[in-house]
Structure formats: structure tokens, C-alpha cells
A and B are shown apart, each in its own frame.
Chain A
Amino acid sequence: MLTILFDGVAYGMLLFVLASGLSVTLGLMNFINLAHGAFAMVGGYVTALLMERLGAPFLVTLPAAFLVPAILGIVLERTLYRRLYGASPLDQVLFTIGLVLMAMPIADYWLGAEARQVHLPDWLSGSLSLYGVGISRYRLFIVGVCGAIAAALQIFLVRTRFGAQLRAAVDDARVANGLGIDVDRIFAITFAVGSGLAGLGGALAADVVGGVDPSFPLKFLVAMLIVVTIGGSNGILGALFGALLLGVLDVAGKYYIPSIGAFIIYGVMVATLIVRPQGLFSRGDGR
């Protein structure tokens, strides 16, 4: 029972890191970035390839799995994404899904269709027993890393000057600009951090889902969108609770009623959309 709860929390934490970037761009910048999963794929590939080709240790590859997609994020934001801020949601959806459809064959062409494996070091594999509860070491690691990221993000957004500037820029970009806030720069950095987090999430998720392959961007897209839907799209805490709820329900559902377990999360999403379309943890009304 506790093992199931723990597994659910670990899965939820993983979803949170994957989806947090999406929640930031969607919630704070009002931009629908369906290509978010592609950045997760890049992060996964960075870790898998660094380990495979250069024999780098797992922990060392994680910062790279953050940085490479983040830099890619900045480049794409400066060249492509920024043209679509303020465009209609349909344009944004079509544009970003187009990016996904391009990213997948590119990965296939360069790296092949087979899944690249991430081999965990010995100290992260296997399980340990805490008060009789079997806990997988790697999942414990995920909970730790993702928990730290969630806390850091929340503090960053609420307590720092940059966080305040970001919120100001989102609320009214024009006035913020007039007050001397460099809105362009803030959006670019935010976008890069979101992409980097997706990459880190992809790297962490690779082992759990059996490696990184070109279909990775779509593997988590639905789950990420559900997290944002359930959690509400304005803020880190909403996404965190949404992800945890989803993770626990998904794992518990599959454990207790395996025959329909896979559908439970969709049921929850539909119920949420009917009862609270703005998201369970959203303040105020839906936009």
C-alpha cells in the first residue's frame, strides 16, 4: 500500500518536472507549446548518448541534459517562438505540433528508431526497505531531485526580483516594459528554463519508460497536458499538485483495478473539466 503511494508520488514528481516548463509557458506566458516534449526528448538523448559514447557518469550528464535543451530553447525562442506570442491559440498549436512532427523524424534519421538506454549506476538501482516498505532507490532519487526543483522554482518565482518582473511582464507586458523591465529578455530566459526542465525530466524519465526513442515527444504529451489541465495553468504549485494527484491515481488505478487502470486519469481529467474547467488548484476563474 505504502509502496504504491510512494511509486505514485515518484511518478507524479517526474510528471511535474516534465510538465513544469509547459505550465510556465502556458500559465505565465500564455503560449501553448506542444513541442515541449521534444525538449524532453533532447534531454533524454543527451544523457543516453553522453553515457554511451563518452562513458560519462549518470549524475554528470544531468546538468548537460538541462543545459542543451535550454540553449536550444533560447535559440528557437529568439528565432521562431517569439513571432507567435500573442498569435491565436490555433496558430500556436499548429506551429508547435509541426515542430514535434519535424523533431521526431530528425531524431530517427540521426540516431535511429531504436530506444537508447540510460544505464543507472549501481547505487541507484535495486530497492531498499524502509520500515518494511519496499522503495526503489531510483524512484527515491527522483522524488528528491524533483522535490528540490519544485521548491527552488516556487521560491524563485515568488521571492526573487526576477520572479516579480516575470509576473509583472505577464500581467501587462506593455506597462512592464514602460517601467524599464526588459520583457523580451525575461520571456527568453523563462522559456529556456522551461525547456531545460523538460530536458532534465526527459533524462530522468528515460530509465522508467525504457529508454529514449523518436516517439518520446508524444509519449508524455498527453500526460503533461492532463497535468496542466488538472492543476490549473497559473503557477508552480498547481502543476505540482496536479502532477502528484495524477501520478498517485495512475499507479494506484493500475495496481488495484489493472483492467481499467489505464483509463482512470482520463476520467479524472474529464471530471475536472466539467466541474472546474479552470483547474483544481487554480485561483480565480478560468481565462
Chain B
Amino acid sequence: MTARTSTLCVALAALLAASPALADDNSVTIGMILPMTGPSASTGKQEKAGAELYLQQHGDTVAGKTIVLAVKDDTGAADVTKRLAQDLVANDHAAALMGFGLTPLALAAAPIATEAKVPEIVTAAATASITEKSPFIVRTSFTLPQASAPMAQWALNNGVKKVVTIVTDYGPGVDAEKWFGETFEKGGGTIVERIRAPLKNPDFAPFLQRVADDKPDAVFVFVPSGFGSVFMKQFVERGLDKAGVKLIGTGDVTDDDQLADIGDAALGAVTAHHYSAAHDSPENKAFVAAFEKANAGMRPNFMAVAAYDGMDLVYRALEKTKGDASGPALLAAMKGMSWTSPRGPVSIDPETRDIVQNIYVRKVEKTDGALYNVEFATIPDVKDPYKAGKH
């Protein structure tokens, strides 16, 4: 074969393989499944931007492998998530699955991760028990007990004695209610009332009126990101802020992405969470600046940082395995991994595969004309208390 014909053959082969060229030996596909449309689309938007920023900053080559990020839209429906996960594993030979905007979506992909022995990196859904559903699930977001228990501790230390809890009635809400309540009562506080608001009905007026009549020191709230705005507005509308009721909760209610929309009603709310765009570290300042530049001024929230860290985790694991992208090898490399994220020091607990991270207590304040969750206290290296209690 002459040099010429061989060149032709290569060119032809390249042409034929134009689309599956991505699946050559040297590429590693990360299948990212996110709700890009539907009610949770803001999660998908932040997550996608976070993952893409990481690719943009670190290039698509690591340990001799080319990283291909395939983002799929599951519209927030669990059956679609499952089908997409199957498709990514079987047809695209994805080395890792990532994303999962809501708890049911993360659970839907769990059996596929187990069967295919592919790591499922949960970068959003926050119900504590998710990581128990498959030995291949690793999480870079947070768990609700992880944020709720420190919130209770802070309330106890700051003269709060009577609390009413309001949570949205589904997995993460029940988690938040349980762990805040137990920790708070163990420390000598009183939960006056536990209110669960239905997921579908976003008018909080009757529930907040109950709070007004109970006259607690504080109301602890968990609502999914997106419902924070209506809750905050009605809290102020009912005059609860003036009545001296403190608003405390997990950081979902004062989500960085929604804070500008909520407006001044959010001022003074104290929340416990793992990430604030106002986190004071050089890593975070660089992250926020790069993120806002790449996304027309959109402020990153905890979803964006979790996706960014999810990508970081895959890169670090590939470096550790020297390019071995098989599921069990990647998983082994991820366990116990520790690094400095924009949110601060984080690590993957080798036993539970859940993230260990600092939880910050923050207060909504106005700095430079914009609202931010300003951190004022740090609880270092918090493990998920739900699983820590079992092990």
C-alpha cells in the first residue's frame, strides 16, 4: 500500500467514523443528565454551566484521555432519566454518569449504575439516603441533614428556644424537618409545630398565619430552590419579620440564583449551607468571576459549584488511575479523594461515598448594592449525620 492510498484510507475511515469518532479508545464520555426544561430547568442551567466552565478552564485532556461531556435533558421526569442513563451507558459507553436534579431522578439511574458498574456522580439531589441505593453513587452536592443539623446547633447557641418548622412535603423536606427537629430538641429547644406544605401548592399564607399565631422565636424552613421567593415575600407580607420571628433554614431558600428576584424581603435571613457565591477564598473569587464572564453575568449557585466539582472529581480520579476509565477503578480512585473546591476544603467519605465539607452559617446582606449570603461562622468537615449515625 502506498503512502497515498493509506492516507486515503485514513481519511475515509475518519469520514465514516465522523459521528462515532467520539467513542474512540482515547476518549472518556461523561454523560450528564439534567432537567434542562420544565420546572427544574434553573438547576439544569446552572449545572451545565458549571461543568462546561470546568472543561473550558482545564481543557478536555487528562491523563492522556480526551473528555467528552454529553449533556442530556431529562425534563425532570424519572422515566426519561432512566432511559437516558441506559442509552448513555450502552451506546455512548459513558465512563461516568453525572447530574440528577431531583431525588427521584437520582434514584431512577441507581440500578443502571450498579448493573453497568459505572460511577453515578450526584451533583444536585440532596436526600441523605440516595448514596445507599447503589455502591456506585458518589455525591458532590450536599445532604439536607448535613445542612439542617448545624442550623439547629447554631439556633441553640444563639438564644432561639421555640421554633416552628415549615418544609415542603417530599424526601428532602422530610429529611430537613427530621434532622433539624431532632438536633434542636436534643439540645433543649422546643419545636412548637411541624408543618408540611404540599409540593404542588405554593401559597404559604395559611401556614405562615399559623406561625404568626404560634409566636415562635424562629421559623425553620426548607423549600426547594425556586419556591424561596414566594415564601420570603409572604413572610414579610404577614409582618413576621417585624414581629421578631427569625427566619432560619437551609440555603435552598436563599439560593444565590434567586436572591436578586426575592429582593429585600430576604434581608436578615440566616441559613446554613455549603456554598455561597460570596464565600471568601481566592479559589471562589476566581470561580465566580470566570462563571459570570462565561454566562452573561449569571451568578453561580450551589448547583453550579457541585457540577464543577463533579467534573473536578472525574479529572482527579482519571489522573490517579493513570487513564484507566473502567468503573470500579474510577470509583476506587474517587473514594477518599480530597481537594480544595471553590466552596472550601472537601473530600469524598470512602465509606459512604458522600461529600464531607464545611457548612457555613450565613446571613443575607446587601454588599455593593446586591444581595448576598454572607458567611459568618464555619462548622468544619461535616459528614452527613444520617449515615454517620449508622456507621
* Chain A residues with a Cβ under 8 A of chain B: 3-4, 7, 11, 105, 108, 112-115, 117, 119, 125-127, 134, 136-138, 207-211, 213, 215, 250-255, 258-259, 261-262
Contact = CB atoms under 8 A, between A and B. Distances in A.
11 contacts: A4-B209, A105-B37, A108-B41, A113-B41, A114-B41, A126-B236, A137-B237, A210-B226, A210-B229, A254-B207, A259-B196
B238 A127 contact: yes
Contacts of B59: none
Contacts of B40: 113
B203 A208 contact: yes
B239 A134 contact: yes
Nearest to A117: B261
B239 A114 contact: no
Interface string B199-222: 011110111011010000000000
A137 B239 CA distance: 11
Contacts of B263: 119
B37 A126 contact: no
Contacts of A113: 37-42
Interface string B15-41: 000000000000000000000011111
Contacts of A7: 205-206, 209
B195 interface: yes
Given A108-B37, A113-B42, A258-B195, A127 B203 contact: no
Contact of A262 (B42, B201, B212): B201
B93 interface: no
Given A108-B37, A134-B212, A255-B210, A209 B203 contact: yes
A207 B205 contact: no
- Size category of the B interface is 20 to 34
Contacts of A262: 198, 200-201
Given A134-B212, A136-B238, A262-B198, A211 B229 contact: yes
Contacts of A213: 39
A251 B236 contact: no
Given A108-B41, A125-B236, A258-B197, 11 more contacts: A3-B209, A7-B209, A114-B42, A127-B237, A136-B205, A136-B237, A207-B233, A210-B202, A210-B226, A210-B233, A211-B229
Given A119-B263, A255-B209, A210 B237 contact: no
Contacts of A208: 203, 205, 230
B206 A251 contact: yes
Interface string B132-151: 00000000000000000000
A4 B207 CA distance: 10
A112 B209 contact: no
A10 to B, nearest CB: 9
A138 B209 contact: no
For A3, A211, A258, the residue with the greatest tally of chain B CB atoms inside 10 Å of its CB is A258
A215 B261 contact: no
A222 B263 CA distance: 31
Contacts of A252: 206
A12 B196 CA distance: 23
Interface of B: 37-42, 195-198, 200-203, 205-207, 209-210, 212, 226-227, 229-231, 233, 236-239, 261, 263
A29 B289 CA distance: 58
A210 B38 CA distance: 16
B239 A126 contact: yes
Contact of B206 (A125, A127, A261): A261
Nearest to B42: A114
Nearest to B238: A127
A250 B230 CA distance: 18
A251 B239 CA distance: 18
Query: Which 6 pairs across A and B sit closest by C-beta, in order of nearness?
Result: A210-B230, A113-B41, A254-B206, A255-B206, A262-B198, A251-B206
Nearest to A222: B200
Nearest to A258: B195
Given A7-B205, A210-B230, A259-B196, A127 B210 contact: no
Nearest to A251: B206
A261 B196 CA distance: 10
A166 to B, nearest CB: 34
A11 B207 CA distance: 14
B37 A125 contact: no
A103 to B, nearest CB: 15
B203 A258 contact: no
Contacts of B42: 113-114
Nearest to A250: B206
Given A7-B205, A114-B42, A211-B230, A258 B261 contact: no
Contacts of B37: 105, 108, 113
Contact of B207 (A117, A138, A250, A258): A258
A255 B195 CA distance: 10
Nearest to B193: A258
Contacts of B230: 208-211
A259 B207 CA distance: 11
Given A4-B206, A262-B201, A125 B237 contact: yes
A250 B233 CA distance: 20
Contacts of A211: 229-230, 261
A37 to B, nearest CB: 14
Contacts of A215: 38-39
Nearest to A207: B233
Contact of A115 (B203, B205, B229, B237): B229
Contacts of B227: 210
A261 B204 CA distance: 12
Contacts of A254: 206-207
Contacts of A112: 41
B297 to A, nearest CB: 15
Contacts of B210: 255, 258
B200 to A, nearest CB: 8
B320 to A, nearest CB: 38
A125 B238 CA distance: 9
A251 B205 contact: yes
Given A7-B209, A108-B37, A258 B196 contact: yes
B203 to A, nearest CB: 6
